Structure 1
Amino acid sequence: MPSNFNEINALVIDNNSSMRQIMVSMLRAMGMNTVIVANSENQCAELITTENINLVVCGWSLPKLNALSVLKMLRDNNKTLKIPFVIVSTMIEQNLIKQAIAYGVSEYLVPPFNTKIFENRIKKALKVPIQASATNLSRTINSKRFIQKDRIEELDVLIVDDIADNIAIIKELIKDKCKVKAALNAKTAMKICLSDSPPDLILLDIMMPEVDGLTLCKRLKNNPLTQNIVVIFLTALSDTADVVKGLSLGAVDYITKPIIPAILLARIEVHSKIILNQRTIQGQIDSLLQQSEILHHYNEDIYTQLNELLHNSSENLVEVSSKVNTKVSQLSLLQLKYNIGMTRLLLDKSHILTKLQQSNYTLTQTKENISSIILPVMDIFDFAIANKNIEDFTEVNENMFIYSDKMLLALVFSCLYGYAVDVAPRGSKIAVTTENQPKFILIKIHNITVIPEEELDSFLGEFLITHFSLVNKADVSNDIGIKLAFLAMNKLQGALYFHSSEQYGTTFYIKLPS
């Protein structure tokens, strides 16, 4: 990574020309001489591959792609994996933020922001382009502005009026409710709005000389750095047409003159609460990103505690089982055993899937008897097998050994065996067999249920299956178990494939090096 800004080649991607120009200007003001722009998918892909790009600043939407698509494209390519990637967007849906974190975004910046905030985020992104853990990201929102302002009294209100006496009257009315700034003209008001301490709300007089309130409002709403500042017009009763125009430009409300104190205070309070609610939402993004590493460790602790609890429950179950004799009691205990086992499997699936997605799962390979992996998993499903009156045919070679990660392989088997049990009709048959080939071990799980051709895409997501190979086109699958099985087999350097037909039913094949 270049040490000086003037050595950096930056790529700005945004469909909004105004926002694009703002970001280009800010980057150049930082000293970056080479700033390339792209506004389409073709331009984006071509520039990333042909230019020596050191930084990408991306808005959310393109005609076909979005920021996540571009980010994933970079992170999936070893040549572009460590390029700093900054998303600038008003998109604040939590699931999208989480996806950006998972893909390895460097910074996520939400307007409004000023030059100083932008520069700080770019510097952080350049310093740490992609975290060792994708969950450990720096703060993305100005906490002083968005987090600490949790009371109306802390909000900044800018009064813009060309008559000083009017400003004095309004200031006296609201000074105990919020922080007050003032400007006698549009030029001063715009300067304040573009400063490091912009207002949260503007009380804007429509009738002013030179640049009137409508023109100033239009300029504010056309500038990405100021467009989210709330504007309330101050107007005479006769200015109905101007009020309508102002509201169409982006103002949220108006107050008529002469000003009635109670109405002024009520309007400010209502819109201040709306502002604070928006700040809370944006603050949640900051908290989500800032605390994600803490959450990661917290989840590890929770996993450990729940796993210990399930282990103790299993031991208690074994002790109780030896003391009951009636068939009803035994069936109830079998169901309890099934519930505990399924809870543990679900917990392990979620835990390991997260680690695999973040590429921080460490294999622990030991020499294991294949039956010691398969049979305990099958025992968990005894209740489901009995409840559906399924005939369970098992032919597992007890003298077959494998050098592998026991927990990961057990989860792969549980995902596929569990699927077979779920879809098997009542009274049908499930067969589990093993084969010891010269260079690999094969585990087969067969049931009579056919996977409909029209459901194959949703069943496998974007995975391509060939006879003995797996090509991962995208890390998306509709079933957490199937998805985990594919990801885990890649980690185990094995292969997973299946055959499904009306004549023979469905067979899953787990192929592992012996």
Structure 2
Amino acid sequence: MAQVLKVLVVDDVETMRKVTAGQLASLGYGPIDMAGDGAEAWRMLERKRYDLVISDWNMPAMTGIALLQQMRASPRHIHTPFIMITAEAERTRIEAAIASGVSDLLVKPYTAGRLATSVQRAISHRAPEPAPGAQSAAMPAPPHAAAAGPVHLPPLAPPPPTLLLVDDTADNLHVLANVFKGVYRIKAAHNGEKALALCCSDTPPDLVLLDVMMPDMDGFEVARRMRQHPNAENVPIIFVTALTSDAARTEGMTLGAVDFVTKPIDPFQLKLRVANFMRYVELRRQLQADYDNMLAMARLRDDVEAMTRHDLKGPLAGAIGILQALIDAGDLDRRQGEQLRLAEQAMLQVTDMVNLSTELYKIETGKYLLRPEPLPISDVLRRVVETARASYAGKQLVIAVDTDFDVGTDPPVGLGDAMLTYSLLNNLIKNACEAAPERSRVSATLYAGSPLRIEIINKSVIPEQIRPRFFDKFVTGGRAGGTGLGTYSARLLARAQHGDVAFAVDDEAQTTTLIVTLPAAPPVLPA
């Protein structure tokens, strides 16, 4: 039964486009459009919405992976199912496709049945939604978390390859079946018509042992018709025949035979020949199974991250909001206030760790989708500084918050994600406090404007040898226990919000200034 599924097939080889489109049509999907490369496909995607994109990997103008990445960077196409067709065996390239948000991977050559499985998997899977936007000013609590989706477990190992035996003599079929019994899944056909039907089905065999001399439809005619059908055109054939002439062998090879065995057969040699070829079949099948497992494990990781985000970050943010409300109420004695601030600091640190573990990966792989909301930067900055004062009390630092906007005016409001902003400011102020000498001053100054600017200044300078790589991953100044992720993650978190982080070093004054820019929220117009 036909079902409406608007599909875009992308391949630079016209024959392959038509074969894939024909297979989809035979499965009842449509309407189907076709594009010759990624660039043409992108132009079509800009004009029209599709329910599924099926693309080859290697194409001129724009490759399949470039098309996938461009789609995932677009809010309009970020969730459109995408099947990548590939013959790639390089694991790192497949990992790149998975990280870029591919819905399914299809290894060439494939059957209509395998394509149907891939389509169903692709359209049934939807990438987890990004974390909801802020609700409270300093540390937002997401709305009631939606239940996490089903856990995706890796598929089982593939079954043994299927061997089709074709011969019009029952005794010959019996002998061949005994030779391969217990090694492969066996199918048998006693005439060409039945053999052709099995080969052209949605589950064709992996290899055919095909007799040539048969009534009604001989083996050569079976092979000729197989090569005209999309499900059977890539099925390998070993001809088994009493014909020994060069002309017969040439005709068989012309029809795509991978081997030619003469009767009477030597069961031991035939078994070796089939086993040798089946190794190539098994490698291709294992390649598909490996890609399926890699994709399943990536989805399992996404499921775990979604559960972490919903089941851990939500309650944490809610508890932080309650603590902050109690602290801001101002009706606590000194000891109670200190205890609540300690609890708040601990929860903020845990939230920061969870935030980085779940969101940083998405930002690195281009899967993060920002949902900006108005954000009182001064409140977030104040919370971070209060946490730093408690954490670095032993160094006797003076950690100050300054502002550069007119007294009596409303504090500047940023536009971004409160949790990301907290994490990036926390990392930078922590970095400044760790680098600062004891009994020195660390200042964080907020400047109004568009964009908003925050300057964090501390005594001591960044070592000259690491300045060109200061924001690179795992770069440290030799500090014991340093991970080299603080400034790296801070810049990523800022850029994910359309801001940035830079630094300036004054060697004469022996100071380092970290400069954060973030978008300012548009002014609220009077009603």
**What TM-score results when the alignment is normalised by the length of structure 1?**
0.61
Tell me the CA shift for residue 39 of structure 1. Answer: 0.5
| SS of aligned partner of 1:80 | coil
Tell me the CA shift for residue 228 of structure 1. Answer: 5.4
**Please, which of 408, 412, 428 is the counterpart of residue 424 of structure 2?**
412
| SS of aligned partner of 1:88 | strand
Would you say the 8 A contact 2:490–2:501 is kept in 1? no
Q: Distance in 1 between matches of 2:466 and 2:441?
A: 20
Q: Distance in 2 between matches of 1:481 and 1:370?
A: 15
From the superposition, tell whether residues 376 and 190 of structure 1 become closer, same or farther in structure 2 (CA, over 3 Å): farther
Between stretches 235-244 and 159-168, larger displacement belongs to 235-244
Matched, 1:174 2:180: yes
Q: Distance in 2 between matches of 1:166 and 1:173?
A: 11
Tell me the CA shift for residue 282 of structure 1. Answer: 2.0
Matched, 1:485 2:490: yes
Partner of 1:17: 14
Would you say the 8 A contact 2:389–2:397 is kept in 1? no
Aligned partner letter, 1:286: D
Mapping of residues 3-152 of structure 1, within 5 Å: 5=3, 9-30=6-27, 34-91=31-88, 93-111=90-108, 113-119=110-116, 121-122=118-119, 125-126=122-123, 128=124, 130-132=126-128, 147=156, 149-150=158-159, 152=160
Partner of 1:279: 285
Q: Percent identity?
A: 24
Tell me the CA shift for residue 67 of structure 1. Answer: 2.3
Q: Distance in 1 between matches of 2:205 and 2:231?
A: 12
From the superposition, tell whether residues 417 and 194 of structure 1 become closer, same or farther in structure 2 (CA, over 3 Å): farther
**Please, which of 425, 434, 447 is the counterpart of residue 437 of structure 1?**
447
Q: Distance in 2 between matches of 1:172 and 1:437?
A: 84
Aligned partner letter, 1:5: Q
**Please, which of 340, 360, 366 is the counterpart of residue 353 of structure 1?**
360
Partner of 1:314: none
**Please, which of 480, 486, 497 is the counterpart of residue 501 of structure 2?**
497
Partner of 2:385: 371
| SS of aligned partner of 1:396 | strand
| SS of aligned partner of 2:203 | coil
Tell me the CA shift for residue 509 of structure 1. Answer: 1.4
Aligned-residue RMSD, C-alpha:
5.7
The number of residue pairs the alignment matches comes to: 433
Aligned partner letter, 2:424: V
Q: Distance in 2 between matches of 1:207 and 1:482?
A: 74
Partner of 2:399: 396
Measured against aligned partners, the alpha-carbon deviations of 1:2-31 in whole angstroms (never above 9, x if no partner) come to: x9835x543211123222112222333455
From the superposition, tell whether residues 186 and 417 of structure 1 become closer, same or farther in structure 2 (CA, over 3 Å): farther
Would you say the 8 A contact 1:106–1:125 is kept in 2? yes
Q: Distance in 2 between matches of 1:186 and 1:420?
A: 79
Between stretches 272-281 and 53-62, larger displacement belongs to 272-281
**What TM-score results when the alignment is normalised by the length of structure 2?**
0.60
Between stretches 158-167 and 437-446, larger displacement belongs to 437-446
From the superposition, tell whether residues 409 and 376 of structure 1 become closer, same or farther in structure 2 (CA, over 3 Å): farther
Would you say the 8 A contact 1:57–1:86 is kept in 2? yes
Measured against aligned partners, the alpha-carbon deviations of 1:87-138 in whole angstroms (never above 9, x if no partner) come to: 3334465544444444444443445554455445445655x47333599799
Q: Distance in 2 between matches of 1:235 and 1:38?
A: 44
Matched, 1:160 2:158: no
Aligned partner letter, 1:484: S
Aligned partner letter, 1:87: M
Aligned partner letter, 2:57: W
Q: Distance in 1 between matches of 2:187 and 2:249?
A: 23
| SS of aligned partner of 1:509 | strand
Q: Distance in 1 between matches of 2:224 and 2:503?
A: 63
Measured against aligned partners, the alpha-carbon deviations of 1:295-326 in whole angstroms (never above 9, x if no partner) come to: 445578999xxxxxxxxxxxxxxxxxxxxxxx
Would you say the 8 A contact 2:10–2:38 is kept in 1? no
From the superposition, tell whether residues 296 and 41 of structure 1 become closer, same or farther in structure 2 (CA, over 3 Å): closer
Tell me the CA shift for residue 49 of structure 1. Answer: 1.7
Q: Distance in 1 between matches of 2:504 and 2:217?
A: 73
| SS of aligned partner of 1:68 | helix
Q: Distance in 2 between matches of 1:201 and 1:224?
A: 16
Relative contact order (C-alpha < 8 Å, sep 6+): which is higher? 2
Measured against aligned partners, the alpha-carbon deviations of 1:368-395 in whole angstroms (never above 9, x if no partner) come to: 444345578889xx9xxxxxxxxx9987
From the superposition, tell whether residues 205 and 441 of structure 1 become closer, same or farther in structure 2 (CA, over 3 Å): same
| SS of aligned partner of 2:20 | helix
